[in-house]
Amino acid sequence: MNSIDNECVWHPYARIPNEVQTHTVKSANGVYLTLDSDKKIIDGMSSWWSVIHGYSNPTINSAIKRQVDKMSHIMFGGLTHHGAVELCEKLIAITPEGLNKVFLADSGSVSVEVALKMALQYWHNKGQKRKNHFITPLGGYHGDTFGAMSVCDPDNGMHHIFSGILPKHFFVKKPTIGNTKDALVDLRSTLKNHHNEIAAMILEPIVQGAGGMNIYESEYLVGASELCKQYNILMIVDEIATGFGRTGKLFGCNHGDISPDILCLGKALTGGYMSMAATLTNGDIAEGVGVLMHGPTFMGNALACSAANASIDLLLNSDWEENIRRIEKILLTELTQLKSDKSVRDVRVIGAIGVVELYDNIRMEETQNRLIEMGVWLRPYGKLLYTMPPFITSNKELYKITDAIKTVVREL
């Protein structure tokens, strides 16, 4: 299988044929992946931050099995089903106040595309056709589809090759711990000069994910929300990575107690079982948009809805806040020990996210193989070695992850 995989299967962010070794997983249970060699490794990445309840969770398994005997999918145009309605009701209940209209998408990138289209169509229908640009902080990442790429960091992101053909938007200073005031001054200045051209601001709350795992202060969220209102632009909050407890709050925007105009969800929505996302907005925006010309084939997929409903219930019926504090405490205690290492630029921890930023780029294949030897799966990129473990990860397993990170960094 490896020869076919290497020569024919195109993996994300990679060449084909593959230049970097892939590892075949034959099963997964709890927080463990079992490789073809029968070696078990702890997944410290939650399958790109989505498998919050671990693999083969019996509650989610049962929900999907019950659903598949009824129907696996129906078209969502002109038809509906109980699972989708129940899911939308749940999302309205747990997200910030006012977000009571739900569009079910099929991936995080698509939910961002829908959000951008909502904002543009809203202003177009109000006769303000000049408001056709977006504003966003540098360092952000919102997906790999065309519209989403245009609001990712244009210089340090992954899409600079497309810079000549992507729509041009406004980028402002990246918020970081300690620079909130300066970042808000820059945002205010840009909005003052260009608000008549800007439909919406889009940002990732509290943590910028794939753009650099940057954590910033809640005051920036509050200030940005106030400036959006002052200058009459919409606010889109991308919670695809931060939603469902990952940062210690149920949603990242809860850190600033803000309610955006549009909210994007994905990743952990189904507990990592199936691809599904959602874009939520309020009644005013929905009325202004009118008919939204967007309709994914697998919108409101019944199996995905059953997984999402079970995953949300599992989370809310657990003591998830205390659990995230437990994870955060261990990550903070263990990883901050690396701050004095000469190869380490910074260590950042919030909720169930632990990040070690190095001065030099990490040799990914060599590092991954060393981590696998120690029984841990992580996916370093650039200068970052980080973990976003499943919420069910035990203390012993967390220490194994942090010990592996410390070993790799010190060996570097």
Per the annotation, the verdict on 238 as an active-site residue is yes
Catalytic entry in 32, 55, 122, 141: 141
Find the domain containing 17 and state its range: 2-56+319-411
Per the annotation, the verdict on 141 as an active-site residue is yes
CATH number at residue 266: 3.40.640.10
Q: What pLDDT does residue 187 have?
A: 98
Residues 6+ positions from 112 with CB-CB distance below 8 Å: 142, 143, 145, 147, 148, 151, 202, 236, 238, 240, 264
Considering the domain architecture, whether residues 80 and 194 belong to the same structural domain is answered as: yes
Catalytic entry in 238, 249, 273, 346: 238
Considering the domain architecture, whether residues 38 and 152 belong to the same structural domain is answered as: no
Considering the domain architecture, whether residues 178 and 208 belong to the same structural domain is answered as: yes
Considering the domain architecture, whether residues 297 and 243 belong to the same structural domain is answered as: yes
Q: Return the closest-CA partner of residue 237 out of 208, 267, 275.
A: 208
Instruction: Render 35-46 in DSSP notation, one character per residue.
Output: ETTS-EEEETTH
Q: What pLDDT does residue 287 have?
A: 98
Per the annotation, the verdict on 220 as an active-site residue is no
Catalytic entry in 5, 13, 70, 168: 13
- In angstroms, the CA 148 to CA 119 distance is 13
Percent helix, percent strand, percent coil in the chain, to nearest 5: 40, 15, 40
- Counting the structural domains of the chain, the total is 2
Considering the domain architecture, whether residues 341 and 395 belong to the same structural domain is answered as: yes
Considering the domain architecture, whether residues 276 and 354 belong to the same structural domain is answered as: no
Q: What pLDDT does residue 1 have?
A: 58
Q: What pLDDT does residue 104 have?
A: 98
Q: What pLDDT does residue 48 have?
A: 96
Residues of the chain with pLDDT under 70: 1
CATH number at residue 328: 3.90.1150.10
Q: What pLDDT does residue 160 have?
A: 80
Beta bridge partners of 356: 347, 385
Instruction: Render 22-35 in DSSP notation, one character per residue.
Output: ---EEEEEBTEEEE
Considering the domain architecture, whether residues 190 and 242 belong to the same structural domain is answered as: yes
Phi-psi region for residue 38, left (φ > 0), alpha (ψ -120 to 50) or beta?
Answer: left
Catalytic entry in 55, 267, 346, 400: 267
Considering the domain architecture, whether residues 263 and 381 belong to the same structural domain is answered as: no
Give, for 16, the enclosing helix (H) or strand (E): none
Q: What pLDDT does residue 157 have?
A: 77
Per the annotation, the verdict on 342 as an active-site residue is no
Considering the domain architecture, whether residues 182 and 283 belong to the same structural domain is answered as: yes
Considering the domain architecture, whether residues 214 and 123 belong to the same structural domain is answered as: yes
Question: What is the separation of C-alpha 312 from the centre of its chain, rounded to a whole number of angstroms?
Answer: 16
Q: What is the DSSP letter of 55?
A: B
- In angstroms, the CA 253 to CA 243 distance is 9
